[in-house]
C-alpha cells in the first residue's frame, strides 16, 4: 500500500520561528503590494460600470475593437482578448449611456468597424449605487465568516484556538488577495465567493491538528514529554491527512482553473492559492498554540518578579 | 444479519431511490440558471419620489379644476417639493368655500400652511397616504411588469420585489434582450391631451412663456426616405382628457394592409368622456402622448361615440405589438431605472455547460483514480460513496427547485474534492489504529468514532461560510453556496453512514477478519 509520512518526525516546532517569519513575510509582501503597487482590482460588481463580452464572426484585434468603440464615445474602455482571437471583453467605467440601448449601440458600432457580424455574448451592467452597496457588504460577509468560525472554534475547542484560527484565516485571505493583485486579477463576486470558501475550508487542516492536540492532551501528557513535543507529534501524526485532504480539493480547484473556462478562471485561481496557503498556515497556527500556552503560563508567575527568560 | 443492519441498508436504498425519482427525467427536473441557458437578469429601481411628484401634479390640476367648477377662481396651483401643493386663490373672500372643497374632495391632503388674508395656502399629502402610496407604487409596478412579461411570452419568468423599492426580473431564454428591456422599462403613461392653439409652438420652443395650464411637448417624426429625425414642438393643455387607465383593450391593426397602428377600445366610462370631449372640440387637434412624447395629433373630425381610438405613427409591426402590450398591461405607476443588468447569450450559456461538464468529469476522474490507487478497495468504497453523494446533490437541487448556475457547477466540482476529505480523515485514522496494533475490527470501530468529531468540525466551518455566502450573494453566487452546502451535508451521509455500512457488511460479520484493503 502507498503511504506518505507514516513515521514523519519533522521538527516543526523547533523551526517554528522560520514558519512565523515566512508567513509574516508573505502577508507583509501581499499587504505592501496591495497598498503601494497593484492595489485591489475591483470588478464592475463593486465599482459599477459595464462589462460586455463580444464575439466576432472572424478573428479580430484589440485595435479593431477600439476603433469600433471610438465611434460611440463611451469613455475609457478596457479591452481584452478573451479566449481566442474572435472573442473580446470590454470593460466600461460608469456608463452615462442608458443601459437599455447600450448593447445595441456597441454591437452596431463594432460590426460597422469590422465589416462583419458581432454577437453580444454577455452584458453586465451594474449601477453605481448597487456597486457601492456591495463593497461594504462584501467586507461584512468576510468578517462575519471569520466571526462565525471564531465563535465555533472557541466553543468547540478553546478561546485561544478560535483566535489563532481567525489569525490563520486572515493570513490565508490576505495572501490570496495579494496573489490576485500581483497577477492583475479582478475582484468580482465569484472571486469573493472563493474567498469566503477559503475562510471556511482553509481552516480545516488547522482544526485537524487542534483536534489531535486536544486528544493527546486528554490522554495526559506522557512522562518526560513536553508540550512542545506533544504539539510537534500532533502535527507529524496528522501530516499525511492534512496534505491528502487538501490535495483532493486542490485537484478539483486546479481542474476548474484548467478546464472551467474564462468565466471561472479568477475564481478557480483564488481557490487554488487559498487551499495551498491554508495547508501551509496550519503549521504556524498549531505552533502558535504552544507559544500562547507558554506565554499565558509564564505571565501569572512572572508578576512582581523579573520574568525568567528561557 | 441483524435487524439494525437491514434497517441501515433499507435507509441507503431509500435515499438512493428517492434521489433517482427526483432526478428523472433529468432534462425536465434540472433548472438551469440564466448564465447557463442564456437570458436576462434585471434589477429595476422604482423612482418613488418621481411617482409622488406625478401624483401631486395630477392632484394640483384636479384641485384647480374642482375649485373652478365650484366658481372659486384660482390664480396658482403648483406642486412644491414631492408632496405639497401651493395654492393661491384669486380672491380671499372665497376662503371658506375653498376649505369645504378640500375637506370633501381631497381627504388625503391636509392644510399645512394658511394665510387667509392673502388667500394663500399649502396642501400637503398626509404621512399615512405617502406611506401607502409608496407601497402601492412598488406593488403596482410588480403587477404591471408581470402582466407585460406574461403577454410578451417568456417561459418561467421570475419577478419579485427586492428590498424596499427594487424589482428583480429574471427572464430565461430571451433571445432579444434589448426588446425585453424596452418593454419592461417603459413607463407607458398614455394621455390624450387637447392641443392648445392659443400659443404658437415655434415661439414656445424658443422660450416664450406659456399659460399655466399649458405645456410644451415634442413629436418625433422620422422621415421615411432620409431617416432623419425631426422634433416638432406642440403645445398642449396640461390636463389630460383621458389616460391609459381608460383603455380597456388594445390591438394591432394594419392600415391599408401595410402600416401598422394600434387600435384602442376604451372602457365604458372612458368612452363616454371621449364622446363628450370629441363633441365639444370638433375641429381641434387632440395629441396622443406616451411618456411625454407626442405620437400623433390628429384633428377631431366629428363626435366619436364608439369608444374607439387609434394611435398611428411610423412604427414597425414589432414596435406596434410591444406598444399594444404595454397599453394593455397598463402604465407603471412610477418611472423605473435599470440598476443592474446581466444578460447572457444562449451560445455562451451552451459553452459554459460544456466546460462545466468537462471540469466535473475531469475532477471526478482524477479524484476517483487517486482514491483507488491510494486506498485500493476502501478507495473504491469511497468512490461509490462519492457517486452517491453527487446523486443526492443533484436530486436535492431538483427537489428544492434550486437553479444550477455556472458557479453552482463549480460548487459541484469543489464538492467532489471536499467530499472525499471525510473518507480520507476516516481511512487515515483507521490506518493509524492498525499501526498501533489494533485488530481490523477494533481499528474500524475507533477509526470511525474518532474521526467523526473532526469531520463534524471541518464540515461546520465550511457550512458557516456557505451560509454567509448565501445570505450575501446574488443569483449565481447563491447557487454556488447552495450546491456547496448540500454537497457537504450529503457527504455526512455518504462518507460516514454509507461507508460505515459497507465496512460493517464486509468486515464486521461472521468469521474473523485478518486483513483490510485500505
Contact B338 A199 (CB under 8 A): no
Q: Which of A4-8, B216-220, B369-373 has the lowest mean pLDDT?
A: A4-8
C-alpha cell at B304: 366619436
Q: Is some CB atom of chain A closer than 8 A to the CB atom of B339?
A: yes
Binding-face residues of A in 76-95 toward B, CB within 8 A: none
Mean pLDDT across the stretch B111-115? Answer: 86
The most distant pair of C-alpha atoms in chain B lies apart, rounded to whole Å, by 112
How far from B49 is each of A186, A240, B125, B190, B336, CA to CA, in Å?
Answer: 36, 63, 13, 20, 11
C-alpha cell at A102: 447600450
DSSP state letter for A124: E
Contact A190 B338 (CB under 8 A): no
Q: Is some CB atom of chain B closer than 8 A to the CB atom of A241?
A: yes
Contact B343 A149 (CB under 8 A): no
Contact B366 A251 (CB under 8 A): yes
Q: Is some CB atom of chain B closer than 8 A to the CB atom of A297?
A: no
Rounded-to-integer distance, Cα A99 and Cα A110, Å: 17
pLDDT in tens, B168-201: 998 888 877 888 888 888 888 888 899 988 888 8
Interface contacts (A, B; CB < 8 Å): 211
Q: What is the pLDDT, as a whole number, of residue A304?
A: 44
Q: Is some CB atom of chain A closer than 8 A to the CB atom of B205?
A: no
Instruction: Please indicate, yes or no, whether residues B312 and B355 belong to a single structural domain of this protein.
Output: no
Helix (H) or strand (E) holding B191: strand B190-194
Mean pLDDT across the stretch B371-384? Answer: 94
Mean pLDDT across the stretch B302-326? Answer: 82
3-state secondary structure of A90: strand
Q: What is the pLDDT, as a whole number, of residue B475?
A: 66
Instruction: Please indicate, yes or no, whether residues B355 and B472 belong to a single structural domain of this protein.
Output: yes
Helix runs in B225-345, H state only: 268-280, 317-329
Q: How far away is chain B from the Cα of A299, in angstroms, using its nearest Cα?
A: 31
Question: Other C-beta atoms within 10 Å of A296: how many?
Answer: 10
Q: Contact at 8 Å (CB) between B219 and B295?
A: yes
Instruction: Please indicate, yes or no, whether residues B477 and B454 belong to a single structural domain of this protein.
Output: yes
Instruction: Please indicate, yes or no, whether residues B34 and B84 belong to a single structural domain of this protein.
Output: no
Nearest by CB to residue B342, choosing from A124, A203, A207, is: A124
**ipTM of model over 0.90:** no
Residues 6+ apart with CB under 8 A from A107: A54, A118, A119, A120
Instruction: Please indicate, yes or no, whether residues B327 and B395 belong to a single structural domain of this protein.
Output: no
CA B68 to chain centre: 44
Task: Assess if residue B295 is contained within a domain.
Answer: yes
Instruction: Please indicate, yes or no, whether residues B278 and B304 belong to a single structural domain of this protein.
Output: yes
Binding-face residues of B in 281-300 toward A, CB within 8 A: none
Residue to mutate among A248, A275, A285, with most B CBs inside 10 A, is: A248
Q: How far away is chain A from the Cα of B462, in angstroms, using its nearest Cα?
A: 4
Give pTM, 2 decimals.
0.81
Chain A residues with CB-CB distance to B345 below 8 A: 119-122
Higher pLDDT, A300 or B98: B98
- pLDDT at residue B78 is higher than 50: yes
Buried b (16+ CB within 10 A) or exposed e, A155-188: ebbbebbbebbbbbbebbbbbbbbbbbeeebbbb
Instruction: Give the best-scoring range by mean pLDDT among A144-148, B290-294, B302-306, B316-320.
Output: A144-148
- Domain end point (choices B319, B342, B365): B342
Binding-face residues of B in 6-35 toward A, CB within 8 A: 35
Instruction: Give the best-scoring range by mean pLDDT among A240-249, B143-152, B306-315.
Output: A240-249
CATH of the domain at B112: 3.30.1360
Nearest by CB to residue B461, choosing from A2, A123, A152, is: A152
Mean pLDDT across the stretch B39-46? Answer: 89
Instruction: Please indicate, yes or no, whether residues B425 and B316 belong to a single structural domain of this protein.
Output: no
Chain A residues with CB-CB distance to B454 below 8 A: 207-208, 211
Q: Is some CB atom of chain A closer than 8 A to the CB atom of B477?
A: yes
Question: Other C-beta atoms within 10 Å of A193: how many?
Answer: 29
Task: Assess if residue B202 is contained within a domain.
Answer: yes
Chain A residues with CB-CB distance to B468 below 8 A: 141, 144-145, 148, 196
Range of the domain at B371: 3-38+345-507
Contact B428 A192 (CB under 8 A): no
Binding-face residues of B in 44-83 toward A, CB within 8 A: 45
Q: Is some CB atom of chain B closer than 8 A to the CB atom of A25?
A: no
CATH of the domain at B25: 1.20.1640.10
Instruction: Please indicate, yes or no, whether residues B502 and B402 belong to a single structural domain of this protein.
Output: yes
Nearest by CB to residue A53, choosing from B348, B463, B465, is: B348
Contact A123 B358 (CB under 8 A): no
Residues 6+ apart with CB under 8 A from B66: B101, B105
Nearest by CB to residue B414, choosing from A6, A156, A249, is: A249
Binding-face residues of B in 432-461 toward A, CB within 8 A: 432, 435, 450, 453-454, 457-458, 460-461
Task: Assess if residue B166 is contained within a domain.
Answer: no
Q: Which of A194-208, B2-16, B314-328, B439-453 has the lowest mean pLDDT?
A: B314-328
3-state secondary structure of B165: coil
Instruction: Please indicate, yes or no, whether residues B34 and B54 belong to a single structural domain of this protein.
Output: no
Contact A3 B431 (CB under 8 A): yes
Contact A240 B428 (CB under 8 A): yes
Q: Render each residue's pLDDT in chain A as its tens digit; 310 residues.
A: 778 887 888 899 889 999 999 999 999 999 999 999 888 888 888 888 889 999 999 899 999 888 888 888 777 888 988 888 899 999 888 766 566 678 888 888 888 888 888 888 888 888 887 777 788 888 898 999 999 999 999 999 999 999 999 999 999 999 999 999 999 998 988 899 999 899 999 999 999 999 999 888 887 666 678 888 999 999 999 999 999 999 999 999 999 999 988 888 999 999 999 999 999 999 899 999 888 888 888 776 544 444 444 4
Residues 6+ apart with CB under 8 A from B252: B260, B261, B262, B263, B317, B320, B321, B324
Length of chain B: 518
Q: How far away is chain B from the Cα of A38, in angstroms, using its nearest Cα?
A: 26
Binding-face residues of A in 255-274 toward B, CB within 8 A: 255-256, 258-261, 263-264, 267-268, 271
Residue to mutate among B168, B184, B417, with most A CBs inside 10 A, is: B417
Nearest by CB to residue B406, choosing from A199, A204, A263, is: A263
Chain B residues with CB-CB distance to A203 below 8 A: 461
Contact B464 A211 (CB under 8 A): no
Nearest by CB to residue A189, choosing from B464, B471, B473, is: B473
Q: Which residue of B has its CA nearest to A130?
A: B339
Task: Assess if residue B110 is contained within a domain.
Answer: yes
Task: Assess if residue B147 is contained within a domain.
Answer: no
Instruction: Give the best-scoring range by mean pLDDT among B65-79, B245-259, B410-424, B469-483.
Output: B410-424
C-alpha cell at A296: 499565558
Number of structural domains chain B divides into: 3
Contact A141 B356 (CB under 8 A): no
Nearest to B307 by CA among B347, B268, B336, B249: B268
Chain B residues with CB-CB distance to A267 below 8 A: 407, 410
- Domain end point (choices B312, B342, B372): B342
Task: Assess if residue B141 is contained within a domain.
Answer: no
Q: How far away is chain B from the Cα of A298, in angstroms, using its nearest Cα?
A: 31
Question: Other C-beta atoms within 10 Å of A6: how many?
Answer: 10
Instruction: Please indicate, yes or no, whether residues B430 and B499 belong to a single structural domain of this protein.
Output: yes
CATH of the domain at B245: 3.30.1360.200
3-state secondary structure labels for all residues of B414-482: HHHHHHHHHHHHHHHHHHHHHHCCCCHHHHHHHHHHHHHHHHHHHHHHHHHHHHHHHHHCCHHHHHHHH
Helix runs in chain A, H state only: 16-32, 44-47, 62-72, 99-114, 128-156, 159-182, 189-201, 203-218, 227-259, 262-302
Chain B residues with CB-CB distance to A240 below 8 A: 428
Task: Assess if residue B276 is contained within a domain.
Answer: yes
Q: What is the pLDDT, as a whole number, of residue A300?
A: 62
Q: How far away is chain A from the Cα of B390, in angstroms, using its nearest Cα?
A: 14
* pLDDT grade for B1, boundaries at 50, 70 and 90: low
Residue to mutate among A156, A193, A261, with most B CBs inside 10 A, is: A193
- Domain end point (choices B342, B365, B389): B342
Domains of chain A, with CATH numbers? 16-42+130-297 (1.20.1640.10), 49-126 (3.30.70.3400)
Q: Contact at 8 Å (CB) between A99 and B341?
A: yes
Instruction: Please indicate, yes or no, whether residues B399 and B464 belong to a single structural domain of this protein.
Output: yes
3-state secondary structure of B492: helix
The most distant pair of C-alpha atoms in chain A lies apart, rounded to whole Å, by 86
Chain A residues with CB-CB distance to B462 below 8 A: 197, 200-201, 204
Instruction: Please indicate, yes or no, whether residues B382 and B489 belong to a single structural domain of this protein.
Output: yes
Residue to mutate among A51, A260, A262, with most B CBs inside 10 A, is: A260
Contact B480 A190 (CB under 8 A): yes
Task: Assess if residue B229 is contained within a domain.
Answer: yes
Chain B residues with CB-CB distance to A176 below 8 A: none
Question: Other C-beta atoms within 10 Å of A45: how many?
Answer: 26
Rounded-to-integer distance, Cα A43 and Cα A126, Å: 10
Amino acid at each position: 500500500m502507498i503511504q506518505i509520512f507514516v513515521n514523519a518526525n519533522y521538527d516543526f516546532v523547533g523551526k517554528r520561528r522560520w514558519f512565523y517569519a515566512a508567513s509574516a513575510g508573505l502577508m507583509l509582501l501581499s499587504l505592501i503590494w496591495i497598498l503601494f503597487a497593484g492595489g485591489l482590482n475591483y470588478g464592475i460588481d463593486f465599482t459599477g460600470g459595464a462589462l460586455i463580452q463580444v464575439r466576432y464572426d472572424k478573428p479580430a484585434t484589440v485595435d479593431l475593437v477600439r476603433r469600433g468603440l471610438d465611434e460611440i464615445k463611451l469613455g475609457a474602455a478596457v479591452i481584452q482578448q478573451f479566449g481566442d482571437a474572435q472573442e473580446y471583453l470590454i470593460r466600461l467605467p460608469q456608463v452615462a449611456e442608458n443601459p437599455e440601448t447600450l448593447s445595441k449601440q456597441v454591437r452596431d458600432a463594432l460590426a460597422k468597424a469590422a465589416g462583419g457580424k458581432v454577437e453580444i455574448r454577455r452584458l453586465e451592467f451594474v449601477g453605481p449605487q448597487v456597486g457601492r452597496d456591495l463593497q461594504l457588504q462584501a467586507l461584512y460577509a468576510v468578517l462575519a465568516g471569520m466571526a462565525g468560525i471564531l465563535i465555533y472554534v472557541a466553543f468547540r475547542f478553546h478561546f485561544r484556538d478560535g483566535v489563532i484560527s481567525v489569525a490563520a484565516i486572515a493570513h490565508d485571505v490576505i495572501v490570496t488577495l495579494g496573489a490576485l493583485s500581483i497577477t492583475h486579477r479582478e475582484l468580482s463576486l465569484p472571486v469573493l465567493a472563493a474567498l469566503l470558501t477559503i475562510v471556511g475550508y482553509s481552516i480545516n487542516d488547522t482544526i485537524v491538528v487542534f483536534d489531535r492536540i486536544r486528544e493527546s492532551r486528554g490522554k495526559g501528557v506522557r512522562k518526560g514529554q513536553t508540550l512542545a513535543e506533544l504539539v510537534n507529534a500532533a502535527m507529524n501524526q496528522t501530516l499525511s491527512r492534512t496534505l491528502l485532504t487538501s490535495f483532493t480539493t486542490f485537484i478539483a480547484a486546479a481542474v476548474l482553473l484548467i478546464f472551467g473556462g474564462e468565466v471561472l478562471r479568477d475564481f478557480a485561481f483564488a481557490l487554488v492559492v487559498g487551499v495551498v496557503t491554508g495547508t501551509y498556515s496550519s503549521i504556524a497556527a498549531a505552533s502558535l498554540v504552544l507559544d500562547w500556552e507558554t506565554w499565558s503560563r509564564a505571565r501569572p508567575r512572572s508578576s512582581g518578579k523579573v520574568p525568567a527568560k528561557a | 444479519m441483524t435487524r439494525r443492519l437491514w434497517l441501515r441498508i433499507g435507509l441507503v436504498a431509500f435515499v438512493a431511490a428517492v434521489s433517482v425519482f427526483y432526478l428523472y427525467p433529468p432534462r425536465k427536473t434540472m433548472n438551469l440558471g440564466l448564465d447557463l441557458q442564456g437570458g436576462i437578469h434585471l434589477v429595476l429601481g422604482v423612482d418613488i419620489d418621481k411617482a409622488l411628484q406625478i401624483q401631486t401634479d395630477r392632484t394640483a390640476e384636479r384641485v384647480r379644476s374642482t375649485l373652478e367648477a365650484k366658481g372659486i377662481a384660482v390664480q396658482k396651483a403648483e406642486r412644491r417639493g414631492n408632496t405639497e401643493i401651493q395654492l393661491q386663490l384669486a380672491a380671499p373672500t372665497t376662503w371658506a368655500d375653498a376649505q369645504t372643497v378640500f375637506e370633501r374632495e381631497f381627504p388625503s391632503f391636509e392644510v399645512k400652511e394658511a394665510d387667509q388674508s392673502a388667500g394663500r395656502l399649502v396642501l400637503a399629502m398626509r404621512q399615512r397616504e405617502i406611506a401607502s402610496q409608496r407601497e402601492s407604487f412598488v406593488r403596482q409596478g410588480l403587477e404591471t411588469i408581470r402582466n407585460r412579461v406574461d403577454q410578451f411570452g417568456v417561459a418561467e419568468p421570475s419577478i419579485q420585489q427586492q428590498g424596499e423599492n427594487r424589482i428583480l426580473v429574471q427572464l430565461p431564454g430571451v433571445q432579444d434582450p434589448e426588446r425585453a428591456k424596452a418593454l419592461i422599462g417603459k413607463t407607458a403613461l398614455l394621455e390624450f391631451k387637447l392641443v392648445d392653439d392659443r400659443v404658437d409652438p415655434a415661439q414656445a420652443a424658443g422660450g416664450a412663456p406659456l399659460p399655466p395650464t399649458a405645456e410644451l411637448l415634442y413629436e418625433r417624426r422620422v422621415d421615411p426616405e432620409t431617416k432623419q429625425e425631426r422634433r416638432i414642438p406642440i403645445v398642449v393643455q396640461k390636463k389630460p382628457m383621458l389616460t391609459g387607465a381608460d383603455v380597456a383593450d388594445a390591438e394591432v391593426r394594419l392600415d391599408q394592409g401595410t402600416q401598422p397602428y394600434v387600435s384602442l377600445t376604451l372602457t365604458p366610462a372612458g368612452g363616454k368622456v371621449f364622446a363628450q370631449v370629441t363633441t365639444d372640440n370638433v375641429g381641434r387637434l387632440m395629441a396622443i402622448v406616451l411618456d411625454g412624447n407626442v405620437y400623433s395629433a390628429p384633428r377631431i373630425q366629428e363626435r366619436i361615440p364608439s369608444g374607439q381610438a387609434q394611435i398611428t405613427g411610423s412604427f414597425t409591426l414589432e414596435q406596434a405589438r410591444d406598444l399594444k402590450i404595454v397599453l394593455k398591461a397598463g402604465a407603471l405607476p412610477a418611472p423605473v431605472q435599470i440598476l443592474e443588468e446581466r444578460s447572457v447569450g444562449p451560445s455562451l450559456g451552451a459553452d459554459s455547460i460544456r466546460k462545466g461538464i468537462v471540469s466535473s468529469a475531469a475532477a471526478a476522474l482524477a479524484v476517483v483514480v487517486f482514491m483507488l490507487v491510494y486506498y485500493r478497495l476502501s478507495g473504491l468504497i469511497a468512490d461509490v460513496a462519492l457517486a452517491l453523494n453527487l446523486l443526492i446533490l443533484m436530486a436535492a437541487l431538483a427537489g428544492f427547485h434550486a437553479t444550477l448556475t455556472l458557479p453552482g457547477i463549480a460548487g459541484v466540482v469543489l464538492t467532489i474534492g471536499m467530499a472525499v476529505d471525510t473518507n480520507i480523515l476516516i481511512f487515515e485514522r483507521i490506518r493509524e489504529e492498525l499501526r498501533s496494533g489494533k485488530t481490523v475490527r477494533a481499528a474500524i470501530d475507533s477509526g470511525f468514532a474518532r474521526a467523526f468529531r473532526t469531520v463534524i468540525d471541518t464540515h461546520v466551518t465550511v457550512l458557516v461560510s456557505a451560509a454567509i455566502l448565501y445570505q450575501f450573494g446574488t443569483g449565481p453566487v447563491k447557487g454556488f453556496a447552495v450546491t456547496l452546502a448540500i454537497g457537504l451535508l450529503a457527504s455526512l451521509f455518504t462518507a460516514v453512514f454509507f461507508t460505515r455500512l459497507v465496512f460493517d457488511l464486509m468486515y464486521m460479520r461472521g468469521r474473523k477478519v485478518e486483513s483490510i484493503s485500505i
